[in-house]
Structure formats: structure tokens, C-alpha cells
């Protein structure tokens, strides 16, 4: 329990509880057990919080585990993974169906990777996941609507959604039938929902202020899934640079804030003012057409952003990266994904902004063409 006005620190385990190692094989990514994920910290009750309030959360600071060298993610290193299609997949899973991994070394605010030579950037540290507790009614709504979606194609791989998973469920201090009910009804933490949740918004960084809807007494804030960096979309699924670490909060309340500000569903937030400053970008465009099959989709921003990502991958391959390396890079580096045009029927248009300053070579198009050099490869399965 904390009080409005309090400042406090929360320590967070890396989201898979350190199943992934600092090595050159992607076998651990391929074989990861996702049943217990995400590992969360909390819940933290806020005195006086009632349904209808807005919980004001300032992210004062956030960083990896403060040790200098260590074994667990967050102790001076982190990782980015591409999940295999059979185990969750990612945004480009039809193009990259296997498991891959890149290990990142932290140098203060900067990350480099032996699996991605030529790249060096400042991380925008942020929590992938924080949120308040849902009310019983809200939880039932989630389970109902997600089950309805899953039912439209229940055998799909990867699945359309995940139902409550009793195996490895954490029920806190509950026991007996209570604990059983928690395990049976507790929603998985994969998606973002009305309570916040797994937003994976890279701009929830230091200095940000988030206004979470409160659905139960005491608000009950919990979360984790700290990221050293992430590109918009977190496209490889485990696409951020994952780590364990700490996060410092200040909390406050706006009583009746949901009604006052018309917040009926998702949180509102104000990003901080310390994101790294990049001024030059090479940008890629995608439209809602599958060019491989010449199929047109109607204002589908998901298809459009996927094409922008694929266009970026092709481009980076010309400089010597493998497609897998490029995919990992776009998941982890501070790229921006924009919805540029969403009304010009039938084609949505999305764009992806890749900062040129993260490369130690000139990545811009020139008349001479790109200078491709051997850039090694990422960690693969063996």
C-alpha cells in the first residue's frame, strides 16, 4: 500500500524470469515456456483510489539491474528475440518462421550488440507493461470477447488469442478454491486492455506521466516487462531489449477523473522530455497491399505497417545484414512507426522512420549504391 504523493521503487524480474541466456544460440528462445509470463511485480494498492478515479503515475526513473556485470538479463546486458511461428511467432512470422536472438551490451544509456555490428544507439528505457486491476465485470468481459475471437479460428498457429492458463498461474495469497478460481479466470497479460496492460509503448519512458483508469478499490497497480529499448510495434514479439531492473514511481489521484476527462477505456499519458534526439531518418512506406499475391486490403494499417517493415528489411540487407538481423534491429532500435494516411481508399499508408545516426556507416541512398560488407549473423537455433 502506498499513498497519493508517495515516491517508491519497484524491482522487476525480466519477463520470462531469466529463461534466456547471454550466449550465441537461439535454442532458449525457441524453447521458452511462456505459461508463467509475464513475470510481474505488485499489486500495489493506492490508498483512497476508487473506481472512476484516474491513477496518476509518474515514471521518475527506470533502468537495468544496477550491477555492473552479471548473469541475468538486466545486469549489463539484454536480449531481443524472434519467436518461432510454432511458439507465438511475431509480426513477420510468415517471412521469418524460426527462432532468432540478439544479445545487447549496455554502456550507460547506449546499447551495442555483437550480433548486430555497426549499430549503436541510446535506449529509451520503459516498462512494457503496467496497469491497474480489472473489476470482476471487466475481467469477464475480456474473457468473453477474446474467447469469441479465438472461436473464429481455434486451431490457428499462432493462436488469435490466449485464454486463462491454470498451469503455473500465480494466485498471490489466495488458497484453495479462491486460488483455483484465480487460475481459471485470470486473463493472460499479453495484450493491452482497458486497465493499461502490455502497451509496449516505447514512449512510456523516464519523465512520462500516465493516467490509468481505476476499476477496483485501491487501484492495485502491477507490472513489469522492462525494456532497455524498443522500436514502435515491437515487431519481433519479444522485440524490445528485454531486461530485469528497477522503476521509480510517484503516484497521485484525480478523483472522478474518468468522468471529468471522458476517459472510458484506455489510459491517457504525457511522454517525457528526455527521449534521445535524432534528427535524420531514412523512412520506409507500406500500403495495405500484399504485393506477393497482389491482394488489396481495405484501409488495413496492420498490412501497411508490415509492408513498411518488409521494405526496411530488404533495404538493410543491401548493406550486408541478414534478413533476420534486420528484423531484430527493427524490433529493438528507436524506430518510429506512423499511421500516415488511413482514409485514401482502399490503401492505408504507414511509414517507418529509422534514425540514420544509429549506424556507424552512411545508410542513406547515394548514386554509388550501398557498400555491402560482411556483418556476421544473429544467434540462430542449432
CB of 182 to its own copies, least distance (A): 22
Of 149, 157, 170, 174, the one binding its own copies (CB under 8 A) is 149
CB of 73 to its own copies, least distance (A): 18
Shorter beta-carbon distance to its own copies: residue 187 or 380: 187
CB of 382 to its own copies, least distance (A): 25
Is 281 an interacting residue with respect to its own copies (CB under 8 A)?
Answer: yes
The rounded distance, in Å, linking the Cα atoms of 283 and 233 is 15
Using a 10 angstrom Cβ sphere, with 0-12 exposed, 13-18 middle and 19 or more buried, the burial of residue 185 is middle
Shorter beta-carbon distance to its own copies: residue 171 or 317: 317
Positions in 185-224 near its own copies (CB under 8 A): 190-194, 198-203, 206-207, 211
The rounded distance, in Å, linking the Cα atoms of 63 and 232 is 19
9 forms bridges with which residues in the sheet? 248
Positions in 26-85 near its own copies (CB under 8 A): 54, 56, 58-61, 66, 68
Specify the stretch interacting with its own copies by CB under 8 A; choose among 13-21, 96-104, 166-174, 269-277: 269-277
Is 95 an interacting residue with respect to its own copies (CB under 8 A)?
Answer: no
Three-state secondary-structure class, residue 120: coil
Nine-digit cell string for 289: 497491399
CB of 178 to its own copies, least distance (A): 27
The rounded distance, in Å, linking the Cα atoms of 47 and 245 is 26
Of 173, 176, 367, 374, the one binding its own copies (CB under 8 A) is 367
The rounded distance, in Å, linking the Cα atoms of 336 and 352 is 6
Nine-digit cell string for 229: 529499448
Is 137 an interacting residue with respect to its own copies (CB under 8 A)?
Answer: no
Of 23, 163, 184, 296, the one binding its own copies (CB under 8 A) is 296
Nine-digit cell string for 192: 493491452
Using a 10 angstrom Cβ sphere, with 0-12 exposed, 13-18 middle and 19 or more buried, the burial of residue 374 is exposed
Amino acid at each position: 500500500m502506498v499513498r497519493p504523493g508517495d515516491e517508491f521503487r519497484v524491482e522487476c524480474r525480466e519477463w520470462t524470469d531469466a529463461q534466456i541466456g547471454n550466449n550465441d544460440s537461439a535454442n532458449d528462445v525457441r524453447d521458452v515456456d511462456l505459461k508463467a509470463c509475464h513475470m510481474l511485480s505488485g499489486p500495489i494498492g493506492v490508498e483512497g483510489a476508487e473506481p472512476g478515479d484516474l491513477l496518476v503515475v509518474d515514471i521518475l526513473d527506470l533502468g537495468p539491474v544496477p550491477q555492473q556485470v552479471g548473469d541475468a538479463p538486466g545486469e549489463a546486458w539484454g536480449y531481443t528475440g524472434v519467436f518461432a511461428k510454432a511458439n507465438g511467432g511475431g509480426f513477420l512470422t510468415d517471412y521469418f518462421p524460426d527462432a532468432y536472438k540478439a544479445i545487447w551490451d549496455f554502456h550507460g544509456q547506449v546499447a551495442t550488440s555483437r550480433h548486430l555490428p555497426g549499430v549503436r544507439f541510446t535506449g529509451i528505457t520503459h516498462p512494457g507493461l503496467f496497469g491497474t486491476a480489472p473489476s470482476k465485470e471487466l475481467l469477464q468481459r475480456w474473457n468473453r470477447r477474446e474467447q469469441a475471437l479465438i472461436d473464429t479460428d481455434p486451431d490457428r498457429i499462432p493462436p488469435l488469442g490466449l485464454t486463462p492458463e491454470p498451469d503455473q498461474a500465480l494466485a498471490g495469497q489466495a488458497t484453495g478454491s479462491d486460488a483455483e478460481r484465480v487460475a481459471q479466470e485470470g486473463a493472460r497479460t499479453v495484450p493491452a486492455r482497458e486497465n493499461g496492460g502490455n502497451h509496449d509503448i516505447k514512449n512510456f519512458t523516464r519523465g512520462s506521466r500516465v493516467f490509468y483508469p481505476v476499476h477496483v478499490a485501491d487501484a492495485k497497480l502491477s507490472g513489469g516487462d522492462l525494456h532497455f529499448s524498443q522500436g514502435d510495434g515491437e515487431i519481433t514479439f519479444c522485440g524490445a531489449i528485454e531486461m530485469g531492473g528497477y522503476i521509480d514511481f510517484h503516484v497521485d489521484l484525480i478523483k472522478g477523473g474518468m468522468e471529468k476527462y471522458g476517459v472510458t477505456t484506455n489510459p491517457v499519458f504525457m511522454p517525457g522530455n528526455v527521449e534521445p534526439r535524432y534528427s535524420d531518418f531514412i523512412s520506409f512506406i507500406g500500403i495495405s497491399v500484399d504485393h506477393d499475391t497482389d491482394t488489396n486490403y481495405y484501409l488495413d494499417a496492420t498490412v501497411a505497417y508490415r509492408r513498411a517493415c518488409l521494405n526496411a528489411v530488404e533495404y538493410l540487407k543491401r548493406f550486408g545484414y541478414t534478413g533476420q538481423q534486420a528484423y531484430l534491429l527493427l524490433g529493438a532500435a528507436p524506430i518510429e512507426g506512423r499511421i500516415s494516411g488511413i482514409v485514401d481508399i482502399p490503401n492505408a499508408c504507414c511509414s517507418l522512420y529509422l534514425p540514420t545516426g544509429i549506424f556507424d556507416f552512411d545508410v542513406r541512398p547515394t548514386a554509388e549504391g550501398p557498400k555491402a560488407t560482411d556483418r556476421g549473423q544473429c544467434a540462430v537455433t542449432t
